[in-house]
């Protein structure tokens, strides 16, 4: 294991990456579990009230996966656009929960849909973050063939975020798949170069390259346990920190 020269936590501005599956309860038939979205909103409220500037990128896998649909014969670009619309549904659900708890927020969509969301404009999003609003980025990058991990890396770079908080179903980055190897070891910290040399799967290649090139650290943590999101948003050590040299 390695030790970074400087731990970037705590931080002023962060991008939280949520998977679509994170909004669905375990074993639930519902695409969105209101109680989970409510819990996420409450933990976000606490962090924002503490002064954190927060942008959120949410996936759409609880509704649709473009790559899977493409493998079954659907045109890949069309399948990806359907997936982008799924992310907007999740973004709106999250916006509603946050507003219910008194958090000022806005959904910015990379695909224009003026009746339900603002269109993404970088300078406007930066201003909203400075004003203390939570900005939820929907519709991915607005282009097919890019994941929402790439969207998170792109928005973090554009917004000048200090860190990406990647909420997952595992509690960090391991030297091998912990589901297959009971002896797999979890890293507390690991460098971008180590991830490349050891082929550690943190994000897809495009997203990872963006983070590495723009020196955006990534914190990988398990969203499921209550309180984990609060710990991550407060900048408390949790999961695995992926960082530059």
As annotated, the binding site includes 17-20, 60-61, 65, 80, 141-148, 168-169, 174, 177
Q: Which residue in 191, 199, 204 sits closest to 240, CA to CA? A: 191
Contact yes or no for 83/65 (Cβ under 8 A): yes
Output the known binding site for ATP: 17-20, 61, 65, 168-169, 174, 177
CA dihedral in degrees (120, 228, 236, 104; nearest 10)? 40
| Cis peptide bond upstream of 87, omega within 30 | no
Output the known binding site for UMP: 60, 80, 141-148
Question: In the Cβ-directed half-sphere of 231, how many Cα atoms lie within 13 Å?
Answer: 17
Burial class (CB within 10 angstroms; exposed 0-12, middle 13-18, buried 19+) of 161: buried
CA 177/CA 36 separation, integer angstroms: 27
């Amino acid at each position: 294991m390695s030790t970074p020269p400087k731990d970037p936590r705590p931080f002023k501005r962060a991008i939280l990456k949520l998977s679509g599956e994170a909004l669905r309860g375990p074993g639930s038939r519902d695409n969105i579990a209101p109680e989970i979205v409510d819990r996420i909103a409450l933990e976000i409220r606490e962090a924002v009230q503490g002064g954190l500037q927060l942008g959120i990128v949410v996936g759409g896998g609880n509704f649709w996966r473009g790559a899977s649909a493409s493998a079954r014969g659907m045109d890949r670009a069309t399948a990806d656009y359907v997936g982008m619309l799924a992310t907007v549904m999740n973004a709106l659900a999250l916006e509603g929960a946050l507003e219910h708890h008194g958090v000022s927020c806005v959904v910015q969509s990379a695909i224009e849909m003026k009746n339900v969301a603002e269109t993404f404009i970088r300078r406007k999003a930066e201003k909203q973050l400075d004003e203390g609003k939570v900005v939820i980025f929907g519709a991915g990058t607005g282009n097919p063939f890019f994941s929402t991990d790439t969207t998170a890396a792109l928005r973090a770079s554009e917004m000048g975020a200090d860190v990406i908080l990647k909420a997952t179903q595992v509690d960090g980055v391991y030297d091998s798949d912990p589901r297959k190897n009971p002896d797999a070891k979890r890293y507390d910290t690991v460098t971008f170069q180590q991830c490349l040399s050891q082929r550690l799967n943190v994000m897809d290649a495009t997203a990872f390259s963006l983070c590495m090139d723009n020196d955006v650290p990534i914190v990988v943590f398990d969203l499921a346990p209550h309180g984990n999101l609060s710990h991550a948003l407060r900048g408390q050590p949790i999961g695995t920190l992926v960082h530059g040299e």
